Structure 1
Amino acid sequence: MKPAFSTPLATLPLNSRETLYISLHQYGLRLHLDLRIWCCGQKRGRRRPSRKGITLPQERVEEFMEGLQRAHRRLVAWNSGLAGTLTVPALNDEGEGRAKP
Structure 2
Amino acid sequence: MFQIVPKPTNITKVAATAKGFQVAWKKQPESTTGYQIQYSTSKKFTKKTTKAKTVKKTSATKLAVRKLKAKKKYYVRIRTYKTAKGKNYYSNWSKTKTVRTGR
* TM-score, normalised relative to structure 2: 0.29
Higher strand residue share = 2
Higher relative contact order (CA 8 A, sep 6+): 2
Higher helix residue share = 1
Instruction: Flag the structure with larger Rg.
Output: 1
